[in-house]
A and B are shown apart, each in its own frame.
Chain A
């Protein structure tokens, strides 16, 4: 069974500063990795995904993530955040159980001026 650990429950950041959200997973098999974003009282929206190929994945809204197989990590980064990036971010892993994602506990990002 796989598990997903998001190492920070909350990340405060100033506007225009960079941000990194950390995600580690445990799995002995090939994985597919996702980052989702959730704005208050809304559903989740896909930011980016890693299925195969290049380990650096670019997503929407200027986010990118790097898959590191040896460290079993999939950290999310953005070089310069905006106030509108204030949201909760979820890392998720899918292995051989098609369509069944295991989600991390989430990281709340709070961007202040």
Chain B
């Protein structure tokens, strides 16, 4: 079945460590996104990519990095510079970069806990 796969589902990290969250999609979607979810705050956009080898910062990009070397993959690295990384991270994709209304398709999320 087509969809978005995020891994790992749960991740624990010590302070000062970088971690990378994986996001793979087989929907042939051009655009991919990373959101962070905290209780009572909704979803906030970290980074997004409309095409391969190109990506833009979202609203809360500080302390995060991404790459888009393949259409199917959009990994997110949470660096040690992110001051409060404990959160639920959601990857999403949308069908194309041509224009209006990208309905987002979401993965099941990765929950990161910093010990």
Contact = CB atoms under 8 A, between A and B. Distances in A.
Contacts of B7: none
Contact of B102 (A36, A94, A103, A105): A94
Interface in B95-115: 97, 99-104, 106-109, 111
B78 interface: no
A101 B104 contact: yes
A108 to B, nearest CB: 10
A47 to B, nearest CB: 11
A99 interface: yes
A44 interface: yes
Interface string A76-113: 00000000000000100010001111011110000000
A28 interface: no
Given A90-B43, A99-B50, A105-B41, A51 B100 contact: yes
Contacts of B108: 41-43
A41 B103 contact: no
Contacts of B42: 4, 90, 103-106
B15 to A, nearest CB: 24
Q: Classify chain B: how many residues form its interface, as a range.
A: 20 to 34
Interface in B72-104: 90, 92, 94, 97, 99-104
Q: Classify chain A: how many residues form its interface, as a range.
A: 20 to 34
Interface string A19-42: 000000000000010101000011
B48 interface: yes
B2 interface: no
Given A41-B109, A98-B102, A99-B48, 13 more contacts: A4-B42, A43-B90, A43-B106, A51-B100, A51-B101, A94-B102, A99-B97, A99-B102, A101-B45, A101-B104, A103-B42, A103-B43, A105-B41
23 contacts: A4-B42, A41-B108, A41-B109, A43-B90, A43-B108, A44-B90, A44-B92, A45-B106, A49-B101, A90-B43, A98-B102, A99-B48, A99-B50, A99-B97, A99-B102, A100-B45, A100-B58, A101-B104, A103-B42, A103-B43, A103-B44, A105-B41, A106-B42
